A and B are shown apart, each in its own frame.
Chain A
Amino acid sequence: GENVEQHPSTLSVQEGDSAVIKCTYSDSASNYFPWYKQELGKRPQLIIDIRSNVGEKKDQRIAVTLNKTAKHFSLHITETQPEDSAVYFCAASMKTSYDKVIFGPGTSLSVIP
């Protein structure tokens, strides 16, 4: 089955700097890659997603890139703010629209004011 790896496991950045989180997946059949932000004790919140027919997607300060050949995808957060501090999970899902989501192990991001 699908396996998603993620690094780093923890990341500290100064406010205003950029943060990059990288993920790899194992199953070439995966074609949907969501990113979730989870604050302590809360539900995972979808912040951005990308499908396999797209190489890059941007939404304000957040961007994702996907390299299907290498099975890599990344999250980039620019101009980080303290409220960006949370655990970020990358995930992968397969070709059907109702398939399960396989999560990576998470990255704990701390933005230092």
Chain B
Amino acid sequence: EPEVTQTPSHQVTQMGQEVILRCVPISNHLYFYWYRQILGQKVEFLVSFYNNEISEKSEIFDDQFSVERPDGSNFTLKIRSTKLEDSAMYFCASTPKGVTYEQYFGPGTRLTVT
């Protein structure tokens, strides 16, 4: 069964550095999302992306964040200048076009900012 994949599984970075988290959604999916989960807390929506543009973003998704679909397969989340509070698990998800509602989550990237 096709799955969403994410790399790296764990990223350690220093405060103020830029990081890029990568996702490969399921190939025939058209809607893409990033969520984050701070340790021990709920999963929070960051941004949704469709047709090469952002559909919706949350308050968390400020100017330090950006998303891109640089080619036909990858979907990236960039954090320009990381802060300690950006430490979290970041999940990518995708959904096919049509009546299905289910979002398929990737395994996540654990980001640790020191």
Give Cα A99–Cα B35 distance, bound, in whole angstroms.
13
**B75 interface residue per 8 A CB criterion:** no
A100: B residues at CB distance < 8 A: 33, 45, 48, 56, 58
In Å, the complex CA distance between A45 and B108 comes to 12
Nearest-Cβ distance from residue B17 to partner chain A, whole angstroms: 24
CB of A105 within 8 A of CB of B56, answer no
How many residues of A sit at the interface, in one of the four size bands?
Answer: 20 to 34
Docked CA distance A92–B33 (Å): 15
A98 touches B95 (CB 8 A): yes
Whether A43 touches B103, Cβ cut-off 8 Å, given contacts A98-B50, A100-B56, A104-B42, is no
Instruction: List the interface of chain B (C-beta within 8 A of A).
Output: 30-31, 33, 35, 41-45, 48, 50, 55-56, 58, 91, 93, 95, 97-103, 105-108
